[in-house]
Amino acid sequence: MNSLITLTECLVPFIAKKVSTRLLWSNDLDDSQREELKQATNYLIEEKQRHAVFDTCVPLLTNEKIFYAERYGGGAISRNGGGARCGFDGRWQVKGISANALVGKGSRRSMVN
């Protein structure tokens, strides 16, 4: 069985920056697992980087991490090219990470935020 991270043709890389967050809810996790989850997922896309795709020639800063937007299609996703407000880091799917490069031009504001 394939894992999502191996389906590179379906993924668009982008950079998100570490932010201060608080974990509101999780399934049954012990304290170390909750901390691991928080550290792995407390990232947002900066406003000025919303439509940027990761450039392999630019080194990452210590507070940056590569996430992937997943491509998919269909009439129900408006003008977006897939998961336009979430990111996958190879293990965790982060919802509400902000608008990424898959947000379609002319998308309604409600589909972007």
Q: Give the pairing of strands 64-70 and 43-44.
A: unpaired
Give me the residue label for tokens 């399934």: 27
Placement of tokens 């890389």 in the chain = 13
Q: Is 60 exceeded by the pLDDT of residue 112?
A: no
* CA–CA gap between residue 3 and residue 69 (Å, rounded): 15
> Taking the model in full, what pTM does it have?
0.76
- The string of DSSP codes covering 31-74 is HHHHHHHHHHH-EE--GGGTT----TTSPPPTTEEEEEEEB---
Q: Which residue has the higher pLDDT, 20 or 111?
A: 20
The span from the CA of 32 to the CA of 57, in Å, is: 35
Structure confidence at residue 62 (pLDDT): 92
Rounded to an integer, the average pLDDT of 52-73 is 82
pLDDT at 86 over 80: yes
pLDDT score, position 64: 92
Question: Do 98 and 48 form a contact (C-beta atoms < 8 A)?
Answer: no
Write out the two tokens for 105.
């031009």
- Once rounded to an integer, what is the mean pLDDT over residues 94-113? 69
- For 21-54, what is each residue's pLDDT tens digit? 888 888 899 999 989 998 999 999 887 766 566 7
What confidence score (pLDDT) does residue 51 get? 56
